[in-house]
Structure 1
Amino acid sequence: MSHLQTSDSQDDSQYQYCNYHLPATHHCISTIKGDNSYISSLVIGGKFLYTGSSNKEIQILKCDNLRAEFDHEKLSDCMIISGNGAVKSLVISADKIFSAHQDHKIRVWRVDESEVHQQKLTHLATLPTFSDRTLSFLSPKNHVQVSRHERSTWVHHNDTVSALAVSRDGLVLYSVSWDRTLKIWHATDFKCLESVCNAHDDAINAVVVSSNGDVYTGSTDKKIKIWRMSKSPEGEKHTLITTLMKHKSGINALALSPNENVLYSGASDRLIMAWEKSDEDDMAAVGVLRGHVKSILCLSVVSDLLCSGSADETIRIWKGVEKCYFCLAVLEGHRGPVKCLTSETDHGRSSDTSTSYLIYSGGLDSDIKVWQIFIPL
């Protein structure tokens, strides 16, 4: 079942955008052929790329190998089969990897580096933990209504865990789900600290967190919500600060700029919205990035660039200049929707005249592609 909507509605005339291409050099330097499963999540950790797929696999690939300019079969140092259904999201914090799964679970892995250039993953825990489940089950007050005829403990996700985020200090894990909840976990002992039930009116597809602890969630209900920890009679809880509503269809992806002053949202209305802080508690829509002809499925930020992947099988690279966003490049080559992106600065090939970036993309065509982008200074 998919919660990614499609829509032909696109009345964005009230926003400024610049559909103009600046000089930028780009090419695909490598394609890693997959099997019949699609790539559902990507994340970079040091010298390795971690991939999650629809067939339950988590793989570790050496970034150096991926930068070789040829196509090859997927070869990894490690392949893990975990859970049931797709691996929907991967995040890294220190020596741990957290994975979100279609089977309603979150799994925690320790990254073990047995040799200089080899890694393996050791399973540490499945969330909610047995202790959390047991303690919650024993008390009736810990049970919540999840549907008309079903109750569950508050520590459980009851549908696909769609996205994860980790606090900057690595101490807190945030998870969102198609069950419409936002959950907060301790990232060291894996205890569930809080559950925001009915955080949205429909499936939640995306979550990002800022360095000050503000949490941004995006949903199929077309809304972006901002949550902040505050004191209540029951103790410290996340409360709703504001709701952002401009998209015409469900939100599928969120990303924060490096300085955290700009939030980017991608939706099934084919638009990327740029939101800037108007005050401490609110953000205002300041621009729209238009060019994709189908749903926006994923976003990634590197330096001052925004990368967007779409169901139209392309990746676009954007740069903002004084609130006007320019499309620097359109990357074409996937044979299916681009489901996930991650990116990094390529310091080894940057120069005094240009900066090099590496974009890693995964799609429903089962392939992973590595792209090199040179941006003139």
Structure 2
Amino acid sequence: MWPSDHQTYTSSNDGPSPPSTNSLRPSFLSPPLRHHCVATLKGHTSYTSALALAGGHLFTGSSSGQIHRASLTSLSHHQTLPDEAMIAAGDGAVKALVASSDKLITAHQDHKIRVWRVDHAAGNHHQRITQLATLPTLSDRAIKLLLPRNHVRVRRHKTSTWVHHVDAVSALALSKDESLLYSVSWDRTLKIWRTADFKCLESVADAHDDAINAVALSGDGAVYTGSSDGKIKVWRRRQGEKGYSLDATLTKHKAGINALAMSADRVVLYSGASDALIRAWRSDGSSGMCRTLETK
């Protein structure tokens, strides 16, 4: 567990030291606080693979494709999740969850994204989660299917429309105004969806050389993607351009990127990788400046 005495916070040796700011220095480097477990939730028949909070509820996704909902106002020690607050949500693991004001959006190993309407006012013992859509939607697929230019090669002798993910959807992110949904996949694509009608607006093909595992959004409109190829890529939609283009590639990690997170002010990016390092990035306007949190 960390923080611990053997962890250090050091400047990267292969780049200039960024300015010292409160937003760059994470709060977990302060003297450790005492923690105790206030509740234990049981109910999944397999391991928990994703979590999200919304409307006073905790949503949990499992490797067996189940989604549970638990009220945060009634948590108690060793609580069992009620069966009526559980839904079966497709084949394979739930890879990611994001919650909007009235919706829950889930990413799945079966290559799909599912959108659920959530009634936050419903009682704890009455299920009020109903499926609204599966992305890509039937209408979106049908329109793209008719035109050959919408087909892309995904494997030898196999094609698919560009709105489809063709491997596990690994991570999701919502824009601040909740109007856009960003999804990344092990199929190496980044896709952008409009939440008003769930239409796929854009797909960045071959965004990385290997599976994409994480996505995060900054406050200035940048989209960060992290991949098993060991790279973090920065994507921007520039004025006058219709789509996202590559703005920068961050390569200080020596192994695959597993997770990305933005600070509360959406200024500092944190990346975690298989090299046992967590790096903190702050843009200087041209390339990412980095500090490293040693976790070995």
TM-score by length of 1: 0.69
Q: 1:62 to 1:191 in 2, by over 3 A?
A: same
Alpha-carbon distance, 1:175 to partner: 0.3
Is residue 266 of structure 1 aligned with residue 272 of structure 2? Answer: yes
SS in 2 for 1:236: coil
- Does the aligned pair in 2 maintain the 1:167–1:210 contact within 8 Å? no
Structure 2, unmatched stretches of 5+, are 1-10, 18-24
Could you tell me whether the CA contact under 8 Å between 1:61 and 1:77 is conserved in 2? no
Q: Quick check: 1:85–1:101 contact (8 Å CA) kept in 2? A: yes
Aligned length: 276
Shift of 1:114: 5.3
Root-mean-square deviation (Å): 2.4
Task: Tell me, in whole angstroms, the C-alpha distance in 2 between the residues paired with 1:97 and 1:148.
Answer: 35
- Paired residue for 2:293? 289
2:182 is matched with 174
State which of 54, 59, 71 in structure 2 corresponds to 1:45: 54
Q: Spell out the pairing of 1:69-88 with structure 2 (5 A cutoff).
A: 70-75=77-82, 78-88=85-95
Identify the residue that residue 263 of structure 2 maps to in structure 1: 257
Residues of 1 paired with 2:288 and 2:235: CA distance? 13
Query: 2:44 touches 2:66 (CA, 8 Å); kept in 1?
Result: no
Alignment partner, residue 140 of structure 1: 148
- Whole-angstrom distance in 2 between the partners of 1:137 and 1:164: 25
Counterpart secondary structure, 1:28: coil
Match of 2:39 among 10, 30, 40: 30
Rate the CA distance shift 1:252–1:213 in 2: closer, same or farther, 3 A. Answer: same
In the alignment, which residue of structure 2 is the partner of 1:354?
A: none
CA distance in 1, matches of 2:234, 2:151: 26
Which gives a bigger RCO, structure 1 or 2 (Cα 8 Å, sep 6+)? 1
Asked whether the 8 Å contact 1:33–1:72 carries over to 2, the reply is yes
Q: Is 1:193 the equivalent of 2:201?
A: yes
Could you tell me how far 1:34 is from its partner in structure 2?
4.2
Answer yes or no: is the 8 Å Cα contact 1:77–1:120 preserved in 2: no
Per the alignment, residue 59 of structure 1 pairs with 68
Question: Higher mean Cα deviation, 24-33 or 153-162?
Answer: 24-33
Identity percentage over the alignment?
A: 53
State the alpha-carbon separation in 1 of the partners of residues 101 and 32 from structure 2: 37
The 1-side partners of 2:271 and 2:193 are apart by 24
The one-letter amino acid paired with 1:44 is: L
Label 1:20 to 1:178 Cα distance change in 2 as closer, same or farther (>3 A).
Answer: closer
TM-score in terms of structure 2 length: 0.86
Asked whether the equivalents of residues 94 and 109 of structure 2 are also in contact (C-alpha less than 8 Å), the reply is: yes
Deviation, 1:207, is 0.4
